[in-house]
Structure 1
Amino acid sequence: MEGSVDYEGAALHTCTINNLQMGDYLHDYKGANSSITSRIKMAKWEGLQVVVKEIIIDTTEQEILTLKANFMRECKRMSCLNHPNLVCFLGVCFPCGNQVPSLVMEHLHCNLKQLLEMNEVIPLEIKMRIVHGVGLGLRYLHSQDPPIVHKYLSSTKILVSESIGVKIAHLNTARFIDHVGTNSLSSDFSPPERLSANNVGRKVDIFSFGCVIIHTLSHQWPTPSQNMVNSNDLSEAYSCSEIERRSQYLDKIPKSVEDVMVPLISNCLENVPVDRPTAEEVCDQLETLVANRQSTLPDNLLQAQLRLQEVLLQVENQTAELDKTRTKLVKKTSELQEQNSKVDSLNLEKEMARLQVNLHQELANYYLQTSKSSKKFWNTLKLTWSHCTDLPGKRWVHTIALLHDRIYLGVVDSGASYCDPLVYDVITNCWDVLPPLPYAKFSLVAVPDKHQLLAIGGFTKNYDDLVISDEVFLWDEKYAKWSTPYPNMPTGRCVSSAIAYQSEVIVAGGITCLEPQTLTRAVEVLYIDDINISNSQWRAVERLPHVVSEPVPLIIGDTLYIAVGSDNKIGASTCSVVAASLPELLQNSCNAQYSGQVWNKLPDMPYASFSVNHYHGQLVIFSGDCMVEQPDEDKPIWELLSLMHIYNPDTKAWDYVGNVPRDYYLGRSVKIGEDKFIFIGGMAGKHNVSNVDDLLTTCTVLTISE
C-alpha cells in the first residue's frame, strides 16, 4: 500500500501548480460524511482566473491515509481526461497545514441552474446545444476504461461559459468524497437504485441526465410529485414510475421538439436501469435533432445586433441635430429677451410665437422622418376621392365581403324590403345579381384560404312569422346556386359579426330573438374542412365582454377587432371596440365564459354607425353619426359626421385624419389595395331607411398618399 501511495504521489507532483495568488472564499460543500468538506476559493495563476478546491478532513489518522491515497489516485486519473465538455483539471497545489493536496480547476461563468434562473427566455437552439454538450461529456466519461460514473449529476454540477459552452464539473470531488460514507439520496435528480449503495452504474448518470433535459427545456426544477420510497427494497421503489413523478413538466417541453425529446426523457427516466439507453444512444438522437436546428442563429443574432447598432447610431445623430436646433432656438430666444428694451412687448410676443411654431415644426419633421411606420402625424396624409360606379338602384348595404376582386353585398331597397344579394366586379366594373336567400339581414363572410363565400344567419323575410336562422349557406360559383354543406350554428342570430381567419369562421354577437329583441355575447367558431365536410364543426370560445348589436369585425395581423355601433340597443351615440389575440382566443375553446383575460377594450370611438377598415396596420373609421345635446331641448338630436379617424396606439386615442366628401350613415367599405378603399352606399338622411332621397347610390374610391 505504501509503495503504491508513494508512486502515485510522485506522479502527481508532475502536475503540481505553484505561484498561485489566492483570492476570495466562495463557499463550502459538505457531503453526508460530515468529516469531509470541499472548500471553494478563487485564485489567479499566470494571469488566468481559476478555482481552487481544498479538501478539509477531520477524521482518524488511518482514514486520512486512506483518503489521501484515494484522492491521489483520482487526481492522476482526472489529469488524463481531456474533453471540451468536462471542466479542465489544471493540477494540484499543496497548501500549508493541509494533509491532502488541493485541486486547481478552470473557472467558468455560472452553473446551468443559475443560467436558467437569470434568463427567463433562452432560444431553443441554445437549450438544445446545452443538452447536447452534456450528453457528449457523459459519453466521453462512460467510454473510459474502466468507465467513469459521475453519480451526482445535476444542473448545479454543470458549468456554463460566457459563450454558452457547457462542462460537467465536480467529478473528481464527488468520486473522492464517495469513498467515505454514503451520499444523501434527497436529490431530485437521483434514480431509485441510489437507495442501494451497492447498485450504482453508468445508468445512474443517464437518469440524472434525463432530469437535466427536463430542467433545461421546461425552465423548471424537476422536483418529483411524490416522495421516493425510503426502503432498501428496490421492488418497492420501482412501484412508482419515475416519469409519472415528473410528468407535470413534460407539458412545458417546446412543441417543436416534443415528439423527439419526450420519448427520450421517458427512456432516460425508466425505473429499471437496464431499460435506460446508453450515453452513446442518447447522443446519436441528440446529434440529429441539434443538426436540424442549427439554422443560422449566430448569424441572425449578429445581423440583428449590427442592425440595432446602425439604428441607434442614426437615432443618436438625429437627436444631436435636434439638440442643435433647440440650442439655436434657445439662443435666439435669449437674444430677443436681451433686446427687450429695444423691441416693444407686442413684437416680442409675436417673435416668441414664431419661434415656438418653428420648434414644433422641427420636432414634427424629426419624428415624421424617424417614425414614419408608426404614422404619428396622420394629418400629413393626403386623401383623394374619386367616383367609380353607382349601385343598381337606391339600396341600403347591411353586409359586405371581398373575395378575389369581387365585392359581394347584402342589401335593402328603398322600400325597406329585402333584395337579392349583389356582386360587383372591381376589374370589369360590372354589377350582377345572385340567386335569393330565404333570409334577410344575414352576414356575408369571405374565406380566401378556401376560395369560398358564406352567408350566415339572418331572419325570415315574412314579417308575420319572424324566425332567426342558424343556417350556413355556401355560394357555388360553378353552378350559380346556394348550398348548405356545413353544420348549422349552435346559436341562431342575425346582424352578427362574422369574419374568416385562415380555415375558421368566427361569429360574434348579434340578435338571437326579435320580439322581444334579445342580444347575445356568444362567440362561436366554425372549422372548415372542404375536403372532408364531416370534419367541419362548431365550437364555442370566450364570450364578448358585453352584448352587442350590429358589430363590425376586422382582422389586422393576428388580432381580431370588433367595433360595436351600440352596446345594448340600436342607435347608441358612441362606439366601443374590443380586441383579442386570435391564437389565444381560438385556443380558449375549453371555457366559453367571459374571463376578462382574452378580450381587451380600446377607447370609445367618437361616433357610431360607421364604416371600419385598416391602414398600414392601424384601425380606421369613416363617417357615422353622433348624439348632440341641445341646451333648449329635452332630447338630444342626431348629427351626421363626415370625418375620418385613425387609432393611435402610442397615445391610445383616435386621431383626426381628414374629411369624407359628404355625410353618410351606415355606408360600407372594403380595402382593395395597400392604400385604396371603395365606399358603397349609405344614407345622407337621419335614420329613415324608407326615405328614397336619403339613400346614396354612389361608389367612391379613396386613395391615401403621404
Structure 2
Amino acid sequence: MADDFTRTGLVLKQITEIDREELGRGTYGRVYAVNYLGKICAAKEIQLKIYTNLVRKVGQVKIQESVIQACIQYSKLRHPNVIQFLGVYYSTTSVGVTLPAMVVEMMTCNLTSFVDNLQDIPVHIKYSIMHDVSLGLRYLHNCDPPIVHHNLFPNNVLLMDCCLAKISDICLANGVLDEHFPYSSDSSIDFISLEALFEAPPYSTSMDVFSFAGIILYIFNQQWPRVSIQKKSNPHAVTLSEVEKRQKHLDKLNNESAMLRSLVVECLNNDPAARPTMEIVSERIQKGKYICVKGSLHNVSTASTPLKQVKIERLQQRVIRQDAPPVIPALLSGRYTLKWTRLADLPIPMKFANIAAKDDKIFVTASSEFNGVVNHLYAYDIHKDNWLALPVSGHRDGVPHIIGDKVVMIGGYLSSIRETTNKISTFNEKNQTWISYYPDMLSIRRQPGVITHKEYVIVLGGIMDNVYAVLDSIEVLDWHVNVQWKRAELKLPVPMWCFTPSTCNDQLIIVGFQGQGIQYSMSFMVPISAIIASADQPTNLDASFSSISWSEIAPTYPYFSVGTVPGSSPPVIVGGHDHSGRIATDCISLYKASENSWKTVATLPSARGRVAVATVSNNAIIVVGGSTQGGELNNALAHSLTLVELGQAELSQFKRPSIIDF
C-alpha cells in the first residue's frame, strides 16, 4: 500500500511520533500525536482488527484502492468547519503490520467531552457550535458528488479552544467500511436514521440531516438523546415514529431553544424525502441564532430586567451587577448625601487592585507582598460576609473580569511558562478549576484595561513583556456571536497600562492612566461604536467612523491614580495619588461637560489612591483597598489598605454644603 499511496503525493515526510499514547479513539481506530515539521497534529490509525476483518471479507487490493480514493477525496476538502486532512503517515503496529494513519489538524476535545464536563453552557456557545456543524454538513452535501457522512454523532464533532466546531471521520465514513459496517457502534445508534440500519442502505444526505437533529437535542439539553426503544435488534419491527422515540427530549426544548423544536421535528421525519436540506437547516439555525442572542442581550441590558434580591441589610436588598444602571445620579440633584458602611476587611492588604462583580460576589486581585502572595484571586460572598481564596489561576498581573456569567482572568504573567501571556482562563465553579473556554487574545498583555459593552469585551493597552514595552493596541471580542478576537484599527491616544476604563452611555472613558514611563492625569473619551466598527471592518470603515479619534477632556491634576466608577453617567472618579505617590485624596469627583472640568461632589471615608470600584444597584458603589500616605515609602503593607466599603446615596434631611448643585 505504501507504493500506491506514494503515487498520490499524499505521503508526509519529516513526521515523527511524539509518543504512542492514545489521545482518543475514533469510530474505526485510535488517535495519537505526531510532529509534522514542528506542528503538533493528530494521527488516526485504523484498528488492526477491523483491517484484518476487511482483508478477509473483500481482499487487500479492494481495501487499498478504497482507502486511497477516500483519502484523495478528503484531501480536496477545504472548509473551516471540516477537519483539515494533511496526508498519510505509515505506522507500524505492535505486531509488525504497517498501516496508513491519516494525519489531520489537532483539536482540543470532542463535543461529548465538552458537554459532559461543563454545566450551563451559554446559549451563544450552543448556537455557535450548532451553526458550525450545519455549515460543515452543508459544504459536504454540496460537493460533486455529494459526501454523506452517515455516522455523525457528538464524538465526531471536534472543538478548538475557541469552541470552533469541525466535523471529523469523513474519510473513513465514505470508503469501503460503508459496505461492511452500516453503523459504527452502540454509542452512535441514537443519532442514526432508521433507513441507515437496513441491509444495503440507500445512503443520502438526508441521513446526515436526521443525525443533526440529534446533535441539536444533545447540545441544548446537555443530555444524550437516547431513544425510548433500541432499533438495532430489528429495525423493521419498530412501530413508533422517530419523533415519538425522542419525545421526552423534544419536550425539554424551551426558553432559548423552543424555536428549534419545529426544526428538529422536521429533521426527524421517518420519510427521508420529507426532511429539509442542510441549506434550509443552516439558514434557520443562523436566523434563530441572531434572534435568540440579540433577544438575550436586550433582556440583560435593560433596566427593567428583574434582579435577584440579596437579602442582607447592609446592601438594602440590592445586588451587584456588571451591567448596572448609571451610578449615583442622585448626587446631581444636590439633595442626597453619600453614606458609607464598612463591609469587611480584605483577606490581605491590597493596592493596584482589580475587581469584577457577579451576582452576589465580588472578585478581587491585586499586588501585595503580604506573606509572598502575589495576585491571588479572592471572592467576597455578600450573603456569608466572608472571603474565599480561589484556586490559583497562574495569571500574575492578570485582570479579573466577567464575560457572560463566567469569571475569567485576562492576560498577565503566566507562572507556568514564566512569560507574559495572551491566554484567558475561565473559572469552572463546578470543579473549582481554571479551564480554557474563550479564545486567546491576539497579543500578549499584562495589566491591560478591560471593559464590557453589551456583547463586546474590549481589551486596551497593557505591558507586552518584562521590559515594560507599553501597548497602544485595542482588541475586541464579540462573545455572543463570532467568539473571536479582532484587532481594532483605532488605537489608544498613547501607550498605557495599569488603568481602569469606564463607560458613559456609548462613550469609553480613560482617566488618570500610566503610559510609557510617564504618569498622566489627563482624561480621554471616544465612542465605543467607533472602536467596534474599526474591529469589524478595519479595511472598509464607514465614513462616519473613519475620522473619529480620542477627545481630550479635563485633567484630574494633580491626581492620577484614580478609580473610575463603572457605568456612571456622567463619569465619576474616586480618590487618587499625586505624582510623588505621597499624597492621596478623599475626593469623589464628577465630570461636568458644560465646563469641561471635574467637580468634587462627595468624599471617601479616608484618602487613598489605586482603589478598585464596583457598582451596586443604581445608586451605590463598593470601594476596595488602595494605598494612602503614611509609613515608609518602601513598606508596601503600610501603604496598602484592607478596607471594603459600601457608599450609597441616601436622602438627607438637610442639604450638605459639600454637595454641589449642577
Normalized against structure 2, the TM-score is what?
0.44
More helix by share: 1
Query: Radius of gyration: which is bigger?
Result: 1
Q: TM-score, normalised by structure 1?
A: 0.42
Higher relative contact order (CA 8 A, sep 6+): 2
